[in-house]
Amino acid sequence: MSILVDKNTRLLVQGITGNEGLFHTQHMLAYGTNVVAGVTPGKGGEWVLEGKVPVFDSVRIAHEATGVNTSVIFVPARFAADAIYEAADAGILLIVCITEGIPIQDMMRVRNYLDQKGIRLVGPNCPGLLTPGEAKVGIIPGDISMPGNIGVVSRSGTLTYEVLYALKLVGLGTTTCIGIGGAPVNGTSFIDVLGMFEADPHTDKIVLIGEIGGTDEEKAAEFIADHLTKPVTAFIAGQTAPPGKRMGHAGAIVESGSGTAADKIKALQDVGVQVASHPEEIAELLA
Residue-wise pLDDT for 236-280, tens only, equals 998 766 665 555 555 545 554 557 899 999 999 999 999 999 999
pLDDT(156) > 70: yes
Mean pLDDT of 35-56: 98
> In this predicted structure, what is the pLDDT of residue 239?
77
- Fold that domain 140-286 belongs to in CATH: Rossmann fold (3.40.50)
Query: What is the phi/psi pair of residue 201, to 5°?
Result: -65, -15
Domain limits of the chain? 11-122, 140-286
CA 157 to chain centre: 8
Distance CA(85)–CA(17), nearest Å, equals 20
Classify domain 11-122 at the CATH superfamily level: NAD(P)-binding Rossmann-like Domain (3.40.50.720)
Which of 93, 101, 50 lies closest to 71, judged by CA? 93
Give catalytic residues, as residue numbers: 249
Mean pLDDT of 93-115: 97
24 vs 16, 126, 149, 205, CA distance in Å? 9, 14, 26, 29
pLDDT digits (tens, 9 = 90+) for 165-186: 999 999 999 999 999 998 999 9
Q: Is 124 in contact with 99 (CB distance < 8 Å)?
A: yes
Neighbours of 287 (CB within 10 A): 11
Q: Is 165 in contact with 140 (CB distance < 8 Å)?
A: no
> In this predicted structure, what is the pLDDT of residue 243?
62
Continuous segment of H or E residues that includes residue 152: strand 147-154
> In this predicted structure, what is the pLDDT of residue 259?
79
> In this predicted structure, what is the pLDDT of residue 242?
67
Residues 6+ apart with CB under 8 A from 273: 208, 221, 224, 232, 233, 234
pLDDT digits (tens, 9 = 90+) for 13-44: 999 999 999 999 999 999 999 999 999 999 99
Note the maximum CA span of the chain.
57
pTM of the entire structure?
Answer: 0.94
Equal fold, 11-122 vs 140-286? yes
